[in-house]
Structure 1
């Protein structure tokens, strides 16, 4: 499968460029790979934060007390654990 790449030009400050170069050396990858990983990680973290915010909003709209929220979370964890098979990652 061919990898499609798009060339792009961005202006970065010297400090950001230094950090990208340091990461590229540390990870032993190209600078473009550092940027790909950084964008991927930022996107995943942002999506996770949005999901947490939505959950908190749902809990708030349900008028749950902190104790009810704790109970809810414990029940969900127990259900997840019950479905996991040995060797599954959390």
Structure 2
């Protein structure tokens, strides 16, 4: 399956261009591949940050304290243990 490519022009500072060239040599890939990987990694990190921020917001909205968290974890573990034991019974 052919990959579609789009040619683009960007203005980069000298330090960034040097870093791209160094990475291309180190990874033994083209400068375009370095940019593709960098964009992909930045996007993935951003997605993880977004999910962590959402979790933090949820915990804050629930006024989650270490004590509440411990109680919640204990409750979930008990439910899981009860469910597993029910399946283990003949």
Please give the root-mean-square deviation of Cα atoms over the aligned residues, in Å. 2.1
Structure with bigger helix share is 2
Q: Normalized against structure 1, the TM-score is what?
A: 0.76
In 1, distance between residues paired with 2:25 and 2:61?
48
In 1, distance between residues paired with 2:51 and 2:35?
24
| Map of 2:5 onto structure 1 | 5
How many residues matched? 77
Q: Radius of gyration: which is bigger? A: 2
| Map of 2:51 onto structure 1 | 51
Gaps of 5+ in 2: 81-90
Q: Normalized against structure 2, the TM-score is what?
A: 0.76
Moved over 3 A (4+): 69-76
